[in-house]
Structure 1
Amino acid sequence: MTVAQPDVTVIIGAYEAMPYLVDCLASVEAQTVDRTRIEVIAVDDGSTDGTGEYLEEFAARAPMPVTVIRQANSGGPSGPRNVGLGRARGRYVFFLDADDRLGPEALQRMIAMADENGTDVVLGKVEGVNRSAPRSMWDKTLKRTDVFSSNIKFTLSAQKLFRRELIERHGMRFDESLWTGEDALFTMEAYLRANGVSVLADHTCYYLVGREDGKHVTRSGSYTLRFDSARALMTLLADLLPPGPKRDVLMVRPFLVTLLPQFGPKFLTDSEEIRRNKFELARPLMEAYWNEDVARRLKVDERLRLHLVAAERPDLLTDVVAFVKAKKEAPAVLEKKGRRLYLAYPHFRDRAADIPDAVYLADAREARAFPGYREAPLDAFLRGAARKVRRTLFPRPNPPRERAAAAKEPVHGLSQREGATDPGAPATT
């Protein structure tokens, strides 16, 4: 007798997951997908706290088929996920971390979204529990979008619904050589190869749970691992995209999220040896991928720090990092009758530093916050016309009062598991 193909395979990689695993599995059991249309593959990655035993107990009583695989510790989440992919039969796969949990109806809604729109990846809204979560991509539900015209590049964790045929057609697997950022590599490749991506923003599908013991956090390890992660993602983008604006808009992500933090406040306390090594690790990445188009998509302080990394000026960089760490406000310098605004961070127009004025030039989005700035008439006209087109094509369902409340809501965005900041809506799209 032929067994029907499940709609979805939920892949759970688990390591020392008790007691959080209890709520995780309960959230799977509570899903509204028909029990004959869901399968669970759970991989215990060498736990010693009862995780494996609890998975087996769950498999014995669960209303859906559950396969439990127990193996020696592999050192990271990639191994268990790849093992799960090798056994998956569902039309879709969903990667669920053992200390997190699914929202009610999450799988049913995400599968319906993918089926209705023919999309290969579905992002369900994520909320943090005792921790922050990416937020800038949940502005509205999008039936079909892509990585270039939305903010989804700032959520590259693996907790999404993927069409399994896409994964198998391209032989996609998690890179087990990376200790951090392996999910970013997998998810970005899926975004780029997908026949459309859906964003389900009006229903919480995933709860990102903060553990008191901190074991959910990607291992910090050596700072060199972050450079490995940035290099891998930049290489992927270069392999899949030709040079040009599309590649540059995505290069913002590894520069901003992975590379720039290595030249943040911690840099001030790094030894001279570590500082030199960081510059050496950054050099080939800056030479290969840093350019004016990437730079102009960043805020002034971000652009300035990376410019100094590219110029190999650690002596000037420490001044800028100290200024930013102190949360000082850079003086605004208005020129051209108020239509050009520079932010005078350290070494602005310092002849000895020889940093181009363009590095300090604020774009219109950043400059509009400063009194006295006058946007060029053509720019203002084009911006207004673009808003009008967006309102016509994509009317927002929530009333003005809700929109105003949402506008005041601060944007948070540190996903420690994926090692990513979510800058909200920076000048990158």
Structure 2
Amino acid sequence: MTAAQPDVSVIIGAYEAMPYLVECLASVEAQTIDPARMEVIAVDDGSTDGTGEYLEEFAARAPMPVTVIRQENSGGPSGPRNVGLAKATGRYVFFLDADDRLGPEALERMVAMADRNGTDVVLGRVEGVNRTAPKSMWGKTLERTDVFSSNIKFTLSAQKLFRRELLERHGMRFDESLWTGEDALFTMEAYLRADGVSVIADYTCYYLVGREDGKHVTKTGGYTLRFDSARALMNLIAEMVPPGAKRDALMVRPFLVTLLPQFGPRFLKDSEEVQRHKLELAKPLMDAHWNEGVAHRLKVHERLRLYLVAQQRPDLLKDVLEFLRAKRQAAAILERRGTRVYLVYPHFRSRKARIPDWVYLAEEREAKAFLGWRRNQVESVLRRAARKTRRLLSQRRATPKGAAPAL
């Protein structure tokens, strides 16, 4: 008699994961889902700190089936995840980093959510421990949504529940040629291919742990790897989504999260050689994917920087970065009877710079924020004037006829 298929395969890729692995595996053992409904596949990627030995100890005593695979170091997280995925038998798979840990009810809640709604991907609320975690997508629990109707494009890490049949049907694996951003590529493809995505916002399913030794993968690697990651994600989006508003909305993510940080204030500290190289790496990406549809979804300072990158104008870009580094507040100009708000960052309407006005046009949230601030200022002035008027009238009523009012 063959064993019943597990509901979920937990795939753990581990490299030099001690002592974090201890709490990670404890969180797996503490899951409220029946141990018979899950399996663990752990891949030790050539560790020398006792990670492999601890995984084998765990496998010997764990209440659920645990497979431990030990291999030579592959150099990144993609290899171990792919090895684990090839061995998985569960209806769903969950990729758990060996540094992190699960909330006790995480797997039970995510499997139930996917089964209830027939969705192919489930996101469980993430909380950071000694590091920041994504926040914008946890506003409310969503039984069924997609990448265009929610903010899930801003969490592309692999730590989610995926229906394994979806991954197998499309031959989906992590790109082992990428040294960073490989999970963004995988997850975005899953979002786009999924028959629905669910979001659990009312329970913390995943604890994203910051390592004190600074060895977390997202903190390693040179700047060229970030451009590789941006290029891969932009190309995927362009291949899978036709030109138009939906593609532009998704392109915001690689431009904003991956590319733009390379042209933040730290760009001023780069050598001239590195600055030139960054602009060279950015140029084909800007030429292929940058347009006004993407630009108008960004804040003015973000849009302005990327516009100058697209124009290959490091001289003007540096002026903008100096302005931002000084934490100066951009003045605002109202035109068209208050229907347009321009933010006056460096080179606004400069004849020499010749940057079009639309680059400085406040996007909807910025405009509303400014107009709300301006309205509050006007209302505050009016309230002060009204209080002063009431005080003067009160004084006049209280002053006997013919007497001078008190000053």
**Secondary structure class of the residue paired with 1:370:** helix
Q: Which runs of 5+ in 1 are unaligned?
A: 376-429
Aligned to 1:96: 96
Aligned to 2:146: 146
Q: Is the 2:12–2:98 Cα contact (8 Å) retained in structure 1? A: yes
Summarize the Cα distance change of 1:193–1:303 in structure 2 as closer, same or farther, 3 Å threshold. Answer: same
**Secondary structure class of the residue paired with 1:368:** helix
Q: Does 1:112 align with 2:112?
A: yes
Aligned to 2:353: 353
Report Cα offsets for 1:366-403 as digits up to 9, x if no partner. Answer: 1122257899xxxxxxxxxxxxxxxxxxxxxxxxxxxx
Letter aligned with residue 229 of structure 2: S
Aligned to 1:409: none
Aligned to 1:173: 173
Deviation at 1:120, TM superposition (A): 0.2
Q: Is the 1:82–1:174 Cα contact (8 Å) retained in structure 2? A: yes
For 1:267 and 1:284, the matched residues in 2 are separated by 19
Aligned to 2:214: 214
Report Cα offsets for 1:77-121 as digits up to 9, x if no partner. Answer: 000000000000000000000011000111000000000000000
Aligned to 2:378: none
Q: Is the 2:45–2:80 Cα contact (8 Å) retained in structure 1? A: yes
Aligned to 2:190: 190
Aligned to 2:44: 44
Deviation at 1:364, TM superposition (A): 2.8
Aligned to 1:241: 241
Letter aligned with residue 75 of structure 1: G
Q: Is the 1:308–1:316 Cα contact (8 Å) retained in structure 2? A: yes
Detail structure 1 runs of 4+ shifted over 4 Å in the superposition: 371-375
Q: Is the 1:334–1:373 Cα contact (8 Å) retained in structure 2? A: no
For 2:192 and 2:372, the matched residues in 1 are separated by 42
Deviation at 1:198, TM superposition (A): 0.1
Aligned to 2:287: 287
Provide the aligned length of Structure 1 versus Structure 2.
375
Q: Is the 2:298–2:363 Cα contact (8 Å) retained in structure 1? A: no
| Structure 2 counterparts to residues 320-331 of structure 1, below 5 A | 320-331=320-331
For 1:374 and 1:235, the matched residues in 2 are separated by 42
Summarize the Cα distance change of 1:56–1:256 in structure 2 as closer, same or farther, 3 Å threshold. Answer: same
Q: Is the 1:185–1:233 Cα contact (8 Å) retained in structure 2? A: yes
Deviation at 1:219, TM superposition (A): 4.6
Aligned to 1:366: 366
Moved more, 107-116 or 17-26: 17-26
For 1:180 and 1:212, the matched residues in 2 are separated by 20
Letter aligned with residue 174 of structure 2: F
Max Rg structure: 2
Aligned to 2:296: 296
Q: Is the 1:158–1:187 Cα contact (8 Å) retained in structure 2? A: yes
Q: Is the 2:126–2:206 Cα contact (8 Å) retained in structure 1? A: yes
Deviation at 1:323, TM superposition (A): 0.9
| Structure 2 counterparts to residues 5-84 of structure 1, below 5 A | 5-84=5-84
For 2:288 and 2:18, the matched residues in 1 are separated by 44
User: Which structure shows the higher helix fraction?
Assistant: 2
For 1:3 and 1:296, the matched residues in 2 are separated by 55
Letter aligned with residue 310 of structure 1: A
Report Cα offsets for 1:199-224 as digits up to 9, x if no partner. Answer: 00001100111111111242532211
For 2:134 and 2:66, the matched residues in 1 are separated by 30
Q: Does 1:253 align with 2:241?
A: no
Q: Is the 1:339–1:373 Cα contact (8 Å) retained in structure 2? A: no
Letter aligned with residue 325 of structure 2: K
Aligned to 1:131: 131
* Percent identity of equivalent pairs: 81
Q: Is the 1:95–1:159 Cα contact (8 Å) retained in structure 2? A: yes
Deviation at 1:363, TM superposition (A): 2.4
For 1:2 and 1:108, the matched residues in 2 are separated by 23
| Structure 2 counterparts to residues 276-425 of structure 1, below 5 A | 276-371=276-371
Higher relative contact order (CA closer than 8 Å, sequence separation 6+): 1
Report Cα offsets for 1:217-263 as digits up to 9, x if no partner. Answer: 42532211100000000000011111111111000000000010111
Report the aligned-residue RMSD. 1.2
Aligned to 2:230: 230
Q: Is the 1:338–1:372 Cα contact (8 Å) retained in structure 2? A: no
- Provide TM-score, normalisation by structure 2: 0.90
For 2:371 and 2:115, the matched residues in 1 are separated by 49
Q: Is the 1:338–1:373 Cα contact (8 Å) retained in structure 2? A: no
Q: Is the 1:340–1:373 Cα contact (8 Å) retained in structure 2? A: no
Q: Which runs of 5+ in 2 are unaligned?
A: 376-407
Q: Is the 1:341–1:373 Cα contact (8 Å) retained in structure 2? A: no
For 2:194 and 2:62, the matched residues in 1 are separated by 33
- Provide TM-score, normalisation by structure 1: 0.86
Letter aligned with residue 70 of structure 2: R
Q: Is the 1:137–1:151 Cα contact (8 Å) retained in structure 2? A: yes
Q: Is the 1:179–1:219 Cα contact (8 Å) retained in structure 2? A: no
**Secondary structure class of the residue paired with 1:81:** helix
For 1:312 and 1:325, the matched residues in 2 are separated by 21
**Secondary structure class of the residue paired with 2:9:** strand
For 1:227 and 1:118, the matched residues in 2 are separated by 36
For 2:195 and 2:148, the matched residues in 1 are separated by 13
For 1:205 and 1:35, the matched residues in 2 are separated by 17
Report Cα offsets for 1:40-92 as digits up to 9, x if no partner. Answer: 00000111111000000000010100000001111010000000000000000
For 2:371 and 2:250, the matched residues in 1 are separated by 32
Q: Is the 1:131–1:210 Cα contact (8 Å) retained in structure 2? A: yes
